[in-house]
Chains A and B, each alone.
Chain A
């Protein structure tokens, strides 16, 4: 703190505005990336230059060129087309797993937290049990048990995913439950259902939305990882993780494994920016008064 000078003040002012714009800008940027990929996923059949399964042994492992922007893989298939098609599975898997996991987790966690007592204990033990295992190991074990394939892998991931939402929902509900406006609702005679869903949930939804957004990225990475290990998609379906796996020995033909990974990176970065942006927007502390 010092006596005011015009320089200091205007520098401070510029800094403030820049911060604000940057924060908002990043979130918008993230939203644009996410939307772009969703559009690509929907339009993949239309915009892919080649069919994703078109094997052509004469064109194996060609570097990126005019004909094949991202090169071809070990079976002569166009990497770009497989990449675009791959977005359908990766995005689908990530979004669906997190969406269902979140809904499931929030209902279980929220209701258990509001009810308290035995129900809450039970839920906590159940989540403890699942959280006993490192996520990858458990997903691997279940996926191995159920057999490979997108559906089974998603189920495996779902089992691993819901506990963290249940835990978060529980802590959010507990915080709200001790607030005076909830007590006022009790005094007014409202029933527990109404209080939980009409009063508490709208106030607890913020952090959940943030976590959901950020988690889609993690889910996409996890699914790709499982596919990388051979547990996810069944060939010849294109999926980013599986594509990296196909190219992992091909250190010299780097394009086969690099581009799918970049695709994953870009999508996840997009969701992260978006999620961070939403979090900043919701957090009253980040707004200086």
Chain B
């Protein structure tokens, strides 16, 4: 088991490195000139300015040297300085990450808490109203474009009915709680500031529902399908023959089997939520990584793009690894393969 872990982590590191190379090459294919984008036309017409700018950012060095600088930087914990914000990319990421983590985590939990029971009920009460409801919700969740759903929610509940707070994490009039983790809900609780807590929670409601919708659909569908599959297995009949109650069969026998594919999918879904909440963050003016990524991309901010891609790839790989490990924990047949 330990050997397996070491191999996987090593493989992961290689992948992450390859990922940075890929991104670096992509970023350098950009037809636009970042210099022009940053300096503006007036300054860019002065060749001296351009040259100084280039030298400052190392854009005059050959390609491989730029990459080498970048790699060296990583091992020192330095991801470069963002061209647009003039700050270390790492600092930028540290600033924006908590907002995304908070939003993504709440959304994920929401989709699990609603999605799994819904899927289970849909399977054991197949073709009844609850099954149809579950399928409807899944369908709606999977078919609605996130950016549009965000708009609809905002327009309806904020613009129309006026019961939801506006964009952003917290009202401007309310003081943000002193930063411990960067997650407002936790920080406010630690500081005992319940007004801030309520305000932050209210702001979280709409965006997390929107973000959760897609994942909810997927989780419900997967849970339902894997429950149905498990229900056809022989051991269910054996359990019944032993005289167990239906509820015990569902919770004790079916669920442990049915949840295995859901865990795998869930891990992936969480990773996607963490790294790809661009649309939702844009519409709700959420100061998170998604928005930062988008801005870097549009501004052709190389360090920003590469830094964020590296972070994103690492997060993705780590979560995949954790998911795989939990799969091994849950399914003893797999654990045996791995350990041999």
Q: Which A positions have Cβ atoms within 8 angstroms of B?
A: 15, 19, 128-129, 132-137, 140-142, 144-147, 217, 221, 224-225, 228-231, 241, 244-245, 247-248, 251-252, 254, 257-258, 260-261, 264-265, 268-269, 272-273, 285
State the CA gap A257–B23 with chains docked (Å). Answer: 33
Contact of A268 among B143, B151, B275 (CB under 8 A): B143
Q: What are 22 inter-chain pairs, A to B, with CB distance below 8 A? A: A19-B127, A129-B18, A129-B22, A132-B313, A133-B309, A133-B313, A134-B316, A137-B276, A144-B300, A144-B305, A145-B27, A146-B29, A229-B282, A241-B147, A245-B147, A251-B154, A258-B155, A261-B148, A261-B149, A261-B151, A261-B152, A265-B143
State the CA gap A135–B276 with chains docked (Å). Answer: 8
Taking the closest CB of chain B, its distance from the CB of A121, in whole angstroms, is: 12
Residue-by-residue, is B258-302 near A (CB-CB < 8 Å gives 1, otherwise 0)?
A: 000000000000011001101100110000000001100110100
> Interface residues of A: mostly helix, strand, loop or mixed?
helix
Taking CB as reference atom, which chain A residue is nearest B293? A137
Contact of B151 among A133, A229, A231, A257 (CB under 8 A): A257
Taking the closest CB of chain B, its distance from the CB of A26, in whole angstroms, is: 9
Taking CB as reference atom, which chain B residue is nearest A251? B159
> Interface residues of B: mostly helix, strand, loop or mixed?
helix
Taking the closest CB of chain A, its distance from the CB of B159, in whole angstroms, is: 4
Taking the closest CB of chain A, its distance from the CB of B31, in whole angstroms, is: 6
B312 at the A interface (CB under 8 A): yes
Across the interface, do B159 and A252 meet the contact criterion of CB distance under 8 Å? yes
State the CA gap A201–B262 with chains docked (Å). Answer: 29
Across the interface, do A269 and B309 meet the contact criterion of CB distance under 8 Å? no
* B contacts with A, residue count (CB < 8 A): 50
A264 and B148 in contact (CB under 8 A), knowing A129-B19, A146-B29?
A: yes
Across the interface, do A140 and B278 meet the contact criterion of CB distance under 8 Å? yes
Q: Which B positions have Cβ atoms within 8 angstroms of A?
A: 15-16, 18-19, 22-23, 26-27, 29-32, 127, 139, 142-149, 151-152, 154-155, 158-160, 232, 271-272, 275-276, 278-279, 282-283, 293-294, 297-298, 300, 305, 308-309, 312-313, 316-317
Contact of A145 among B15, B30, B149 (CB under 8 A): B30
Q: Which residues of B contact A140 (CB under 8 A)?
A: 278, 293-294, 297
Most chain-A Cβ atoms within 10 A of its Cβ — which of B272, B276, B279? B276
Across the interface, do B154 and A132 meet the contact criterion of CB distance under 8 Å? no
A225 and B279 in contact (CB under 8 A), knowing A134-B272, A144-B297?
A: yes
State the CA gap A147–B37 with chains docked (Å). Answer: 14
4 nearest interchain CB pairs? A261-B148, A251-B159, A268-B143, A144-B297
